[in-house]
Amino acid sequence: MSAINTNSFSATGLSLTGSTVTSTPTGSSMTQADFLQLMTTQLKSQDPTQPMDNSQFASELAQFSQLSTQQDIDTNLQNLSSNLSSGMQTSQVLNSANLVGRQVLVPASALDYSGSAVGGGVNVSTAGDVVVTIKDSNGNEIKTMDLGAQPAGLAQFSWDGTNNNGQKVSSGTYSISANNGGNSAALSTYAAGEVTGVGYGGSTTGTYLQVAGIGGVPLTQVAQIN
């Protein structure tokens, strides 16, 4: 904090002359208290033989009132923005509750098999023959499914739980991968599951769905609702 002469000092329209006041650091915001302190210092330091005229004092009081009003408006706008954001989040969670019990397709690299057919999908980047490979927990390939020629977009498939020999496999989690037209580049895969719950995971995650066999998935990642 340094002392400055107010012969040429002006802050937000308030000019102080003929006195010395304490300045605030460069770049800081002037509050109502700062503004009032400047006015008080000016009144204390003015020349008794040449006091501030009424019109100048009234002008500075008006500026003080404007500052107070502006800060109140800023505070109210911030509160309104926060309330609107909270309301939108609540509304989105409530609307998403309608998805409970529905089947959704979400990003996944594994399928949870428990004795009945499970569904999945592949994001086909370029039209061509799509092949899905399913492996067990040891990395052994147990099933290869050729989906045939698929256009670019989302190609869905269903696995009945059998291996390449037509035998049923045991229940468990199996990894899935896919490629397009013999291209070794992996394609994004999805798994189908039933929505069992809805929640809010904070500003980063947003609204999320609890999907059976998969876990929590942000609503924005849902590829398809069945």
The per-residue pLDDT for range 17-61, each reduced to its tens digit, is 444 444 444 445 556 677 667 767 766 776 666 665 666 666 766
If asked whether residues 107 and 219 sit together in one domain, one would say yes
Residue 194 placed within a domain: yes
If asked whether residues 55 and 130 sit together in one domain, one would say no
CATH of the domain at 106: 2.60.40.4070
If asked whether residues 130 and 173 sit together in one domain, one would say yes
pLDDT for 89: 61
Do the bridges between strand 14-16 and strand 9-11 make them parallel or antiparallel, or are there none, so unpaired?
A: antiparallel
Per-residue pLDDT reduced to its tens digit, 169-225: 999 999 999 998 666 678 999 999 999 998 887 777 788 899 998 999 998 899 998
Residue 92 placed within a domain: no
pLDDT for 86: 52
149 or 50: which carries more pLDDT confidence?
A: 149
User: Which of these, 189, 217, 194, lies nearest to 104 by C-alpha position?
Assistant: 194
If asked whether residues 102 and 19 sit together in one domain, one would say no
Mean pLDDT, the chain, rounded, equals 77
If asked whether residues 219 and 123 sit together in one domain, one would say yes
Residue 210 placed within a domain: yes
* 122 vs 181: CA distance, rounded Å: 13
User: Which of these, 213, 223, 205, 146, lies nearest to 174 by C-alpha position?
Assistant: 213
pLDDT for 81: 56
pLDDT for 93: 72
Least confident of 19-33, 112-126, 141-155: 19-33
Residue 82 placed within a domain: no
**pTM for this structure?**
0.59
pLDDT for 203: 74
Beta strands in 60-188 (DSSP E): 103-107, 110-113, 118-124, 128-135, 141-150, 153-159, 172-180
Q: How many domains does the chain have?
A: 2
Residue 30 placed within a domain: yes
Helix (H, G, I), strand (E, B) or coil at 8: helix
**Domain encompassing residue 19:** 3-74
Residue 173 placed within a domain: yes
Residue 33 placed within a domain: yes
